[in-house]
Amino acid sequence: MSIARRHLAVLVALPLALTGCASASGADDGTVDVMASFYPLQFVAEQVGGDRVSVRSLTPPGAEPHDVELSPAQVSRIDGADLVVYLSGFQAAVDEALAQTSPAHVVDAATDTTLRPEEHKDESADEHEDHDHGDVDPHFWLDPSRMPEVVEDVAATLTEIDPEGADTFAANAAALTEQFENLDATYATGLEQCDSRTFVTSHEAFGYLADRYGLHQVGISGLDPEAEPSPARLAAVEKIVRDEGVTTIFFETLVSPKVAETLAADLGVDTAVLDPIEGLADPDADYVTIARDNLDALRMALSCS
Ligand SMILES: [Zn+2]
């Protein structure tokens, strides 16, 4: 930033600070300062806000978001943010930070969609009793038809914060909603005629996707990617793979593929990536490109025509 521009920013920021406007606490370039708790919500905030917002994620790029830990500096940035977009019940550290702070505006995606109850796997229930999800499955973002409600909430809240951006936010939200609707239609068509409807994943992130498109997800570990599957759970998965002629065991990008690879080798089946879109492993990818790759991988594994 040039010295002249820096002075301008100070001059612009000063009256806002004096009037106590929420934007005074935001980014010093005059944009709305948004903290998103993990990638899919960051994607929505960036797409809807465009260049009127500065979006940061509380989960570092390439990190697995379930068990994220926040530094004191991040907690204080939450406190100073114009808007925090998060999913309550998903990341305990973010829930705790929000309980201690008072950002100007908060969007909780859990209020925008009805979360499904967690499907307890009896054989492995002991293994993840201590995880953070409560009784619901957090992974709603893998059903693209559930995303437009979050888009609408983010657009409405950004409009409250920055009324001059109303038209921009509305246009961006409409374009993004159309992308999610297109994805939903592409999934529905692409997964209509398949030889198999059962897919095996490493952690149970794809329950919403399975519900939406009439598939059956079998997770090796539970909802928490760090949970170690029990021997009983592994035996149950092996039986399903044999009985249903499953050809592929999916693993994901941000978690070690070891368990999935060992199981696939034991059973003589393939492995492939199915990405729970919890964070970006590839900075050139985005929600839409990953969702399309996931559809291709599912269609291949399930022999869809
Ligand atoms: Zn997950």
pLDDT bracket for residue 237 (50, 70, 90): very high
Q: How far is the CA of 204 from the centre of ligand 1 (A)?
A: 7
Question: Is residue 200's pLDDT more than 70?
Answer: yes
Q: How far is the CA of 83 from the centre of ligand 1 (A)?
A: 24
| Under 8 Å between Cβ of 224 and 66 | yes
Q: How far is the CA of 22 from the centre of ligand 1 (A)?
A: 33
Write a three-state SS string for the chain. CCHHHHHHHHHHHHHHHHHCCHHHHCCCCCCEEEEECCHHHHHHHHHHHHHHEEEEECCCCCCCCCCCCCCHHHHHHHHHCCEEEECCCCCHHHHHHHHHCCCCEEEEHHHCCCCCECCCCHHHHHHHCCCCCCCECCCHHHCHHHHHHHHHHHHHHHHHHCHHHHHHHHHHHHHHHHHHHHHHHHHHHHCCCECCCEEEECCCCCHHHHHHHCCEEEECCCCCCCCCCCHHHHHHHHHHHHHHCCCEEEECCCCCCHHHHHHHHHHCCEEEECCCCCCCCCCCCCHHHHHHHHHHHHHHHCCEC
Q: How far is CA 203 from CA 55, 92, 229, 260, in A?
A: 28, 18, 10, 10
- Residue 249's nearest CA partner among 258, 227, 186 is 258
User: What residues sit around ligand 1, an ion, with C-beta below 5 angstroms?
Assistant: 205
**Token duo for residue 91:** 């990341």
pLDDT bracket for residue 134 (50, 70, 90): low
Per-residue pLDDT of 39-49, as tens digits, reads 999 999 999 99
Q: Whole-angstrom Cα distance, residue 207 to residue 143?
A: 9
Q: How far is the CA of 64 from the centre of ligand 1 (A)?
A: 8
| Under 8 Å between Cβ of 130 and 66 | no
pTM for this predicted structure: 0.86
Per-residue pLDDT of 141-169, as tens digits, reads 999 999 999 999 999 999 999 999 999 99
Q: Whole-angstrom Cα distance, residue 133 to residue 35?
A: 21
Residues of the chain with pLDDT > 70, as a percent, come to 86
Question: Is residue 126's pLDDT more than 70?
Answer: no
Residues of the chain with pLDDT > 90, as a percent, come to 73
The domains located in the chain, with CATH, are 21-184 (3.40.50.1980), 194-301 (3.40.50.1980)
Least confident of 15-19, 34-38, 150-154, 169-173: 15-19
Q: Whole-angstrom Cα distance, residue 194 to residue 108?
A: 36
Q: How far is the CA of 90 from the centre of ligand 1 (A)?
A: 9
Q: How far is the CA of 175 from the centre of ligand 1 (A)?
A: 27
**DSSP bridge pairs for 219:** 201
Q: Whole-angstrom Cα distance, residue 125 to residue 129?
A: 6
Q: Whole-angstrom Cα distance, residue 180 to residue 147?
A: 7
Least confident of 182-191, 274-283, 290-299: 274-283
Cα 28–chain centre separation = 28
Q: How far is the CA of 152 from the centre of ligand 1 (A)?
A: 24
Q: How far is the CA of 278 from the centre of ligand 1 (A)?
A: 7
